[in-house]
Amino acid sequence: MFFIPFWLLHFSSVTANVITVLPSPNAIAKAIAESSPGDTIIIHSGTYREGNLKINHSLTILGKGLPVIDGQHKVEMLSISAHHTTIKGLRFINSGKSNSDDLAAIKLYSTKHVTIQDNEFDNNFFCIYLLNSDSCTITGNDIKGYAVNEQSSGNGIHLWKCQHAVIKDNTVSGHRDGIYFEFVTDSRIEKNKSFSNIRYGLHFMFSDRNAYSNNRFYHNGAGVAVMYSKNIHMTGNTFDLNRGSAAYGLLLKDITDSRIISNRFEYNSIGIYMEGSNRIIVSGNNFHNNGWAVRILSNCESNEIVRNNFTANSFDVSTNGPASSNTFHNNYWDKYEGYDLNRDLAGDIPYRPVSLYALLMERIPFALILYRSFVVTIFERMEKIAPAITPVDLFDNQPRMKPWKL
């Protein structure tokens, strides 16, 4: 007797279906309503204006020919509360705006394992917004906004109370913050470009054990701000062209136990600004042609600034107090005028990177008009010979004679 296994009899009932959508009234909404968990919906090229679409079971939604989802400046276009969902190849435009509801092109509500990939976002309030979600991936998206001020704009990629997220290979511009983390843990931000955002290219608040690497942050109000967080690893990034009266490549406020390794800080008003930040290792970085390479306030303790290159900066290091408990060691300083008699590539006399004029600028900003004046030059020479005002314990005891090859 020929036997057919029971599971084969039910194969067709558990096989995912493919549903095709062509432009017509409420076509996407009908496809979602008719679909079952695990189905794939393929949306063909066209413009779809269907209000707020809600996904409550796992789906794969694929765009063919970059179909347009238009919120008509009224609604949040896609609300997802289902696990194991993928949104790929769509173009989202013109979401509604609301400061009370934080309307977005796509918003995730308490989901897991959702992928948002290779989509375009143009002229939305928030673009991709994750709430209380786990193990989600945002990759390959092109996100463009036209923010005029902070109050009337949202963020490009916004995560609140999430974990194990991966944000990779996205381009974000024209928002309040390009990428924003609040109460986010154990997540990675890799190979993104974030530029021309009003406030920050990347912004952390109360977010621990995260890493961002090989990103570029440029032409923002400030490149990156890391605040009230710990165990942040910052590696291989480029912070450049962040200029203005309060523009930083990297702003650190009340963070601890973190690493800043092998980054480039170029053409920023301030490369790194550190306030209330402790036990941070800053190593293997290039600081080139910044106004201030590093401004480290006197309430920062036990930080190690080692084996970096400081070249063509107006001021290499600045602080606002008479004492320092931070370590500077074996950095290359292009302003160093010492000698190396034993040729071990370490200078034989210490280098004091805080100039008298830099300290004066901290206390009297209007002193900028004296920059490079003959009087300031004379006083700085005297201060280097016999330090009386600059911090006596802020020095590099073994300054590098040649730049590090980083």
Helix (H) or strand (E) holding 82: none
User: pLDDT digit string (tens) for 65-77?
Assistant: 999 999 999 999 9
**Is residue 262 exposed (0-12), middle (13-18) or buried (19+ Cβ within 10 Å)?**
middle
- Contacting residues for 30 by C-beta, under 8 A, at least 6 apart: none
pLDDT of the residue at 139: 98
Residue 5: strand, helix, or coil: coil
pLDDT of the residue at 8: 32
Instruction: Flag whether pLDDT at 7 surpasses 60.
Output: no
Instruction: Flag whether pLDDT at 286 surpasses 70.
Output: yes
User: pLDDT digit string (tens) for 309-365?
Assistant: 999 998 999 988 877 899 999 999 999 999 999 999 999 999 999 876 666 666 656
Q: Quick one: average pLDDT of 275-297? A: 97
> Taking the model in full, what pTM does it have?
0.91
Beta strand 309-311 with 286-288 is: parallel
User: pLDDT digit string (tens) for 358-401?
Assistant: 666 666 565 555 565 655 566 555 556 555 456 778 999 999 99
Position 186: which residue type? Answer: D
Give dist(CA 108, CA 53) in Å, integer: 12
Counting every residue, how long is the chain?
A: 406
pLDDT of the residue at 80: 98
Q: What percent of the chain has pLDDT over 90?
A: 80
> At 11, is the pLDDT very low, low, confident or very high (cuts 50, 70, 90)?
very low
**Is residue 15 exposed (0-12), middle (13-18) or buried (19+ Cβ within 10 Å)?**
exposed
User: pLDDT digit string (tens) for 214-231?
Assistant: 999 999 999 999 999 999
Helix (H) or strand (E) holding 383: helix 374-385
pLDDT of the residue at 13: 39
Show the CA angle centred on residue 259, arms to residues 234 and 332, nearest 5°: 95
Give dist(CA 223, CA 216) in Å, integer: 9
Instruction: Count each helix (H run) and each strand (E run) in the chain, helices first.
Output: 5, 39
Q: Quick one: average pLDDT of 98-111? A: 94
Residue 183 DSSP class: S
- Contacting residues for 14 by C-beta, under 8 A, at least 6 apart: none
Give dist(CA 192, CA 171) in Å, integer: 6
> At 171, is the pLDDT very low, low, confident or very high (cuts 50, 70, 90)?
very high
Give dist(CA 313, CA 308) in Å, integer: 13
Give dist(CA 348, CA 179) in Å, integer: 45
Gyration radius of the chain over CA positions: 26
Looking at the DSSP bridge assignments, the partners of residue 20 are 42
pLDDT of the residue at 322: 77
Instruction: Flag whether pLDDT at 305 surpasses 90.
Output: yes
Closest CA to 330 of 308, 348, 363, 360: 308
Instruction: Flag whether pLDDT at 12 surpasses 50.
Output: no
Give dist(CA 223, CA 243) in Å, integer: 9
pLDDT of the residue at 321: 80
Higher pLDDT: 2 or 80? It is: 80
pLDDT of the residue at 380: 58
Give dist(CA 352, CA 384) in Å, integer: 8
Q: Quick one: average pLDDT of 84-94? A: 98
> At 3, is the pLDDT very low, low, confident or very high (cuts 50, 70, 90)?
very low
> Do 244 and 276 meet the contact criterion of CB atoms below 8 Å apart?
no
